[in-house]
Amino acid sequence: MAHSRGRAGKGVSGAGKADGGGLPGLSSGRAEARVKDEGQDEDAGLLVAAAARPGKSGKGDGAATKVPSSLPDVWSRKFVTFSTVAEGHKALQDEQLLGPFFDRWGDTTRALEVTCAGVNTDLCNDVIASRKITVLVYGEAGAGKSTLVKALTHDSDILAVSATGPGTVVETEVCLPCGLRVVDTPGFRVPLPLRSSPSAAISVPVPGAAHAAEGGRFSLAWLREVLAWRAMLRSLHARLTSQDARLRPFALIYCHRAGARILRERVVELLRIPHMKLVPVFTVLTDVTNADDEDLVRIRAEWAGLLHEVGTNAKGAQVHLVEVNSFAKTVRGHTHRQTGVKELMAMLLNSLDPLDALTFARMPGIFTPSRKRKRTEDVVENGSDIEN
Ligand SMILES: Nc1nc2c(ncn2[C@@H]2O[C@H](COP(=O)(O)OP(=O)(O)O)[C@@H](O)[C@H]2O)c(=O)[nH]1
Ligand SMILES: [Mg+2]
Query: Does the CB atom of residue 143 touch ligand 1 within 6 A?
Result: yes
Report which ligand 1 atom has the smallest distance to the Cα of 140: 20
State yes or no: pLDDT of 5 exceeds 80. no
State yes or no: pLDDT of 370 exceeds 90. no
Q: How far is the CA of 24 from the centre of ligand 1 (A)?
A: 33
pLDDT at 193: 83
pLDDT at 287: 95
Q: How far is the CA of 112 from the centre of ligand 2 (A)?
A: 39
20-38: average pLDDT: 36
Nearest-ligand number for the alpha carbon of 172: 2
User: What's the mean pLDDT when you consider all of the chain?
Assistant: 77
Query: Does the CB atom of residue 242 touch ligand 1 within 6 A?
Result: no
Reported as a pLDDT band with limits 50, 70 and 90, residue 148 is very high
**Atom 22 in ligand 1: residue holding the nearest Cα:** 161
Crossing angle for the helix pair 85-92 and 341-351, nearest 10 degrees? 40
* CA–CA dist 388, 374 (Å, integer): 9
pLDDT at 367: 53
* CA–CA dist 64, 55 (Å, integer): 9
Q: How far is the CA of 143 from the centre of ligand 1 (A)?
A: 6
The 3-state secondary structure of 302-338 reads HHHHHHHHHCCCCCCCCCEEEECECCCEEECCEEECC
Over residues 276-326, the pLDDT tens digits come to: 999 999 999 999 999 999 999 999 999 999 999 999 999 999 999 999 999
Residue 231 corresponds to which amino acid? A
Over residues 43-90, the pLDDT tens digits come to: 333 333 333 334 444 444 445 556 566 666 666 777 899 999 999 999
Task: State the DSSP code for 137.
Answer: E
Query: Does the CB atom of residue 257 touch ligand 1 within 6 A?
Result: no
pLDDT at 194: 78
Q: For 58-72, 213-227, 232-246, 307-321, which range has the lowest pLDDT when averaged over its residues? A: 58-72
Domains in the chain and their CATH numbers? 34-75 (no CATH), 78-360 (3.40.50.300)
Reported as a pLDDT band with limits 50, 70 and 90, residue 334 is confident
373 contact partners, CB below 8 Å, separation of at least 6: 118, 120
Q: How far is the CA of 136 from the centre of ligand 2 (A)?
A: 13
- Where do the DSSP E strands lie in the chain? 2-5, 46-49, 64-67, 78-81, 133-139, 172-175, 180-184, 249-257, 281-286, 320-323, 329-331, 334-336
**Atom 10 in ligand 1: residue holding the nearest Cα:** 144
86-101: average pLDDT: 96
Nearest-ligand number for the alpha carbon of 328: 1
Q: What is the DSSP string of 33-87?
A: HHHHHTT--GGG-EEEEGGGS--TTSS---PEEEEPTTHHHHHS-EEEE-SSHHH
What length is written for the chain? 388
Report which ligand 1 atom has the smallest distance to the Cα of 162: 16
Probe target for ligand 1 pocket from 147, 159, 188, 331, with the most ligand atoms within 8 Å of CB = 147
Q: How far is the CA of 260 from the centre of ligand 2 (A)?
A: 16
**Atom 23 in ligand 1: residue holding the nearest Cα:** 161
Q: How far is the CA of 79 from the centre of ligand 1 (A)?
A: 29
State yes or no: pLDDT of 275 exceeds 60. yes
